[in-house]
Amino acid sequence: MPLLNIPDELLELRSSLHQFIEREVRPIEDAHRQEILDTGTFETLKEESLKLRKRSAELGFYALHMPEEVGGGGLSYLGQVLLHEEAARDGLILPQIESVLPVISGPTAIYIDCTEAQREKYLFPLMSADKITCFALTEPGAGSDATRIQTKATKTTQGTWVIEGRKHFITGGQEAHFALVFAVTDPEKRAQGGITAFFVDADTRGYSVTRIQRTMSPYQNPVELTFEGVEVPESNILGKEGFGFYSAVRGINGARLQIAARALGLAQYLLDRSTEYATERVAFGQPIGKNQYVQGMLVDSYAELAQARLLVYSLATEIDEGADGRRQAALSKYVATEMVGRVADRAIQVHGGNGFMTELGLEPWYRDVRAMRLYEGTSEILRTNIAKTLGL
């Protein structure tokens, strides 16, 4: 499909990311593939994943999306979309667990608010992939409505803060060297200046990973984090006291667009596999792809993917050209993640019983993409956000 007016330098960048994946990522995954299929887990890949992040940072991909003012590459949103789509389009697990490009466990725009000292201690090691973080907002009693969080931070007479509470569904929490923890600092205000973001080192007394949460996807194991009398200095506040949501929102457009782009890449992978299967698998004396019903499934996926891709590219461009991005990022994620769910469902159907069997390695993606409609804003919350931008 023609690629609109995408600048040559972005196409070259995408091609060099592709070469990196083929040269250094795929061989590692190939070596572990059978074990993953047999065990349904990817424990041994996790170590490799950390080494690959470092390699991606050395090659300049890992922090390319960060603004130049903090030493990043200042990559445009369209550029980010192209790279994240490319990383996902071969259906490899390693890019999905952020081994090539970060979405949430590495550097994000949230950290622009860091002080000089915080940049040295947290941001720069994230950008060089020497450290991993996690974003700890959600709690058992507060997900979409994050203003309901119960985790509290209380100021001591010495000027430090003591954090008490519990977070769940925290991606990357098992490996993180530090967490960005959101806590109520002024219960009277909450949404309007009552919630603060704190850097908390994972080796601080009272910080613990209390549960690894098994999910529908073999590739996602978020954790529960518990904070019992965790004491941090005032200098661990990100941005200003009471403005935690302000920092969180800084990263939201990028994360939503990156997830939308991954949905495009995975949908392309699932469609490619389905089309190939439809030309090879014979039933009633001819390839199944000769049947109009099967063609219909493939063409519907092709059409929906093409529409979503054009939409995401053009919305990313709108942000690059100055739009504030709220509607663009929400709409991109909503459309692309709903689309990949339908494409994954059709991919199983085209593969028949084989699609349901674990040996083909297709069904884990059907389960994995389901989460995309939940994190970084559920589809319902995204529609609510879009409605607001329409004046509703």
Ligand X SMILES: Cc1cc2nc3c(=O)[nH]c(=O)nc-3n(C[C@H](O)[C@H](O)[C@H](O)COP(=O)(O)OP(=O)(O)OC[C@H]3O[C@@H](n4cnc5c(N)ncnc54)[C@H](O)[C@@H]3O)c2cc1C
Choose among 9, 129, 134, 136: nearest CA to 76: 9
DSSP code per residue over 190-245: TTTTTEEEEEEETTSTTEEEEEEPP-SSTT---EEEEEEEEEE-GGGEESSTTBHH
**Span interacting with ligand X, options 82-90, 130-138, 275-283, 337-345, rule CB under 6 A:** 130-138
- Judged by CB under 6 A, the chain residues 240 through 299 that form the site for ligand X are none
Catalytic residue among 86, 363, 376, 380: 376
Site track for ligand X across 13-32, x = CB under 6 A: --------------------
- Token pair, residue 291, equals 């049947």
Among residues 28, 323, 360, 374, which is the contact residue for ligand X, using CB under 6 A? 374
> What is the smallest separation between the CB atom of 121 and ligand X, expressed in angstroms?
21
- Judged by CB under 6 A, the chain residues 65 through 124 that form the site for ligand X are 104
- Token pair, residue 105, equals 């466990």
Among residues 45, 57, 137, 340, which is the contact residue for ligand X, using CB under 6 A? 137
* Measured distance CA(264)–CA(312) in Å, rounded: 9
Amino acid at 11: L
Task: Please give the residue whose beta carbon sits closest to ligand X in the complex.
Answer: 143
**Which is closer to ligand X, CB of 168 or CB of 351?**
168
> What's the half-sphere exposure (Cβ side, CA atoms, 13 Å) at 49?
23
**Span interacting with ligand X, options 112-120, 194-202, 233-241, 380-388, rule CB under 6 A:** 380-388
Question: Does residue 150 touch ligand X according to CB under 6 A?
Answer: no
Whole-Å CA distances, 291 to 56, 117, 294, 301: 44, 64, 5, 16
Q: Count residues near ligand X (CB under 6 A).
A: 21
> What is the smallest separation between the CB atom of 182 and ligand X, expressed in angstroms?
8
Question: Does residue 372 touch ligand X according to CB under 6 A?
Answer: no
* Measured distance CA(176)–CA(351) in Å, rounded: 38
Choose among 178, 86, 182, 95: nearest CA to 138: 182
DSSP code per residue over 78-144: HHHHHHHHHHHTT--HHHHTTSSS-SSSS--GGGGG--HHHIIIIIHHHHTTS--EEEE--BTTBSS
Question: Does residue 371 touch ligand X according to CB under 6 A?
Answer: yes
> What is the smallest separation between the CB atom of 272 and ligand X, expressed in angstroms?
25
> What is the smallest separation between the CB atom of 244 and ligand X, expressed in angstroms?
12
376 tagged catalytic: yes
Among residues 62, 111, 161, 169, which is the contact residue for ligand X, using CB under 6 A? 169
- List active site positions: 376
Interface ranges with ligand X (CB under 6 A): 104, 134-138, 143-144, 169-171, 215, 220, 222, 371, 374-375, 378, 380-381, 384
